[in-house]
Structure 1
Amino acid sequence: MKKALICGVSGQDGSYLAKFLLEQGYRVYGASRDAQTSSFINLRKLDIKDELNLISLNITDFGNTLECINKIKPDEIYNLAGQSSVRLSFEQPHETHESVSTGNLNLLEAIRFSNLPIKLYNAGSSECFGDTIIPADESTIFHPRSPYAIAKATAFWQLDNYREAYNLYACTGILFNHESPLRPDHFVTKKIITAACRISQNKSRNLSLGNINIERDWGWAPDYVEAMWLMMQQDQPKDYIIATGQSHTLKEFITIAFNTLNLHWEEHVEIDEVLRRPTDLQIGRANPAKANEELNWKAKFGLNDIIENMIEDELVSSFKSPTSYL
């Protein structure tokens, strides 16, 4: 039985990855900073919390990281931890850098010190590219435009250097935007879905947003965790862009969401300039051909499917008790 350690198991991707790996027959260790007090609500929603070995691990602490790796001796480590909000990274740049790039460096060093044949997956980000009018592929130059993107770019090059210098099996998945019902409320996509559902139920009236003309490639998170796993099963470690290859504006996202609920978004959406970021990416486009060909992976869900699934879950959840997952 293979053993996998997921850092950041309580998040959207960590929860879906844990479920996927369990289905593949793995013994899964899920790490969070404080496993004793964390609610693990996403793991409860997926009904897998009791199937995991939950541990406390702070990857910004090298000693703690090395100790856990030597104790568990995992075959694979998936680093999905770290501050993940672009907007919040402008307010917390030091926390973002430490949790993303320092945490990644500690994992690389701990694997090197352990002398164990551990494979490492690092969660990269399309934010590293900046604007991508021409669809980005694995050779596109980085132009990060936020503290979050800078931290992710740093982690990418750390891993690239350790892979070359120490012959580690380490790879980065450069993931474009991917959504699901497990998205936290502060992400704009979940904010739109929640607000639209509340408006349809007469529980709210308006939704305030910033720049709705941005363009992104949105995928389905459960699809993307399968791509993470496939990257770790290759003979040689490589970095891959994971995306649908189709981009849409946020205005399109809003229109589809509100139309699905028989609403007119223009009657409810207010543009608030305060919500604009200091710097923002206008266009995000991807070319996932390498993953399509070498991993035999392709996104299964388009934007309409993603939005419909998120709305369905939101409407069902609104009728459940707030403590039903506790």
Structure 2
Amino acid sequence: MARALITGITGQDGLYLSELLLSKGYEVFGLIRGQNNPKLDLVRATVPEVKLLTGDLTDLSSLLRAMESSQPDEVYNLGAISFVAYSWENAMLTTDVTGKGVLNILEAVRLYSHDDPHKVRFYQASSSEMFGKVQEVPQRESTLLWPRSPYGVAKVFGHYMTINYRESYGMHASSGILFNHESPRRGPEFVTRKISQAVSRIKLGLQDGITMGNLDAKRDWGFAGDYVEAMWLMLQQDTADDYVISTGVTHSIKELLDVAFAAVGIDDWAPYVTQDPRFMRPAEVELLIGDSTKARTTLGWEPKVAFTELVQMMVANDLVEQRAQAGR
């Protein structure tokens, strides 16, 4: 039985990846930060078969203990402070967790497998936010990185550190440069879930409108459940490498609003949406669209869920949740 350790197991990717690995017969271990983690019950309810370990990406000793306890064949580092807007308010903490945390987990893997650098296969969750002020459209593995947020800068550090450990120590360490991926499990602070929840509440008469930032920003949105399969496929390759994971199709926030409101029978969303400069990024990333040719040809991976289906899925889920919470 293969064994896997997942950091960031409380996030949408961690939950979907856990389900995927369990379905493939893995023994799965998840790293949880803090004894009173508010998402602990969610993980236990969603993937009760996962064995939970206490640890923190900022604490190397806890990661070494987690390695010894789980004795993994594969390590998936999904842990990060991943809300971009938050990273400007807490740049140092974002750097410690999202950036230096990658170095800590890489070092824990290296020390654990010092006798055989291929003993453990490592996956790093890199991000399309690393491209930032895009220098090429679409973006591929060779595109110059120009991050436009503390989060993006921290991800670049972790990305290059993963490459450095691969080249310096011969580790099987791969990075997935994942473009925006969403799901009904996405946190409500992210714009896609913010919209799907608000639209559901507007439909149910629970709120009057939604306040947004830049409506013209464009993203390459896919389904998180599809993207975790790409993570797993990377670690099944004989040679470690880096891959862009994307749909190759871009949509604006306005298009997202079109689909979300249409899903509840509202054709004109203008009366319900206002803009506020507080929700604008200090340095905006205007257009992200990925070229995942390498992943499609080498890994045999393709996204299955299209944009419209994804947004409709999220709205349908939030309608059920909000109706239940309102007792309707």
Match of 2:206 among 198, 203, 207: 203
SS at match of 1:143: coil
C-alpha deviation, 1:134, in angstroms: 1.0
Q: Is the 8 A contact 1:32 1:58 kept in 2?
A: yes
SS at match of 2:48: helix
Please say if 1:249 is aligned against 2:252: yes
Distance in 2 between the 1:218 and 1:131 partners?
A: 18
Distance in 1 between the 2:140 and 2:167 partners?
A: 21
C-alpha deviation, 1:195, in angstroms: 0.6
Distance in 2 between the 1:231 and 1:9 partners?
A: 18
TM-score (norm 1): 0.95
Distance in 2 between the 1:210 and 1:320 partners?
A: 29
The alpha-carbon distance between structure 1 residues 42 and 71, as it changes in their structure 2 partners (threshold 3 A), is closer
Please say if 1:4 is aligned against 2:4: yes
Match of 1:134 among 131, 134, 137: 137
C-alpha deviation, 1:110, in angstroms: 1.3
* 2:262 matched residue in structure 1: 259
Residue ranges of structure 2 left out of the alignment (5+ in a row): none
Question: Percent of aligned positions with the same letter in both sequences?
Answer: 39
Distance in 2 between the 1:66 and 1:211 partners?
A: 43
Please say if 1:34 is aligned against 2:29: no
Distance in 2 between the 1:138 and 1:20 partners?
A: 26
Q: Which residue identity does 1:27 align to in structure 2?
A: E
* 1:302 matched residue in structure 2: 306
Please say if 1:284 is aligned against 2:288: yes
Q: Which residue identity does 1:43 align to in structure 2?
A: V
Distance in 2 between the 1:25 and 1:38 partners?
A: 28
Residue ranges of structure 1 left out of the alignment (5+ in a row): none
Q: Is the 8 A contact 2:18 2:47 kept in 1?
A: no
Q: Deviations over 1:297-316 (max 9, x none)?
A: 01111110001100111111
Q: Deviations over 1:103-146 (max 9, x none)?
A: 11011111211225111100000000114351001110100010
Q: Is the 8 A contact 1:15 1:42 kept in 2?
A: no
Q: Is the 8 A contact 1:194 1:314 kept in 2?
A: yes
Q: Is the 8 A contact 1:219 1:303 kept in 2?
A: yes
Moved beyond 6 Å, runs of 4+: none
Distance in 2 between the 1:193 and 1:286 partners?
A: 24
Q: Is the 8 A contact 1:36 1:56 kept in 2?
A: no
SS at match of 2:205: coil
TM-score (norm 2): 0.95
Please say if 1:238 is aligned against 2:241: yes
SS at match of 1:51: coil
Q: Is the 8 A contact 2:250 2:289 kept in 1?
A: yes
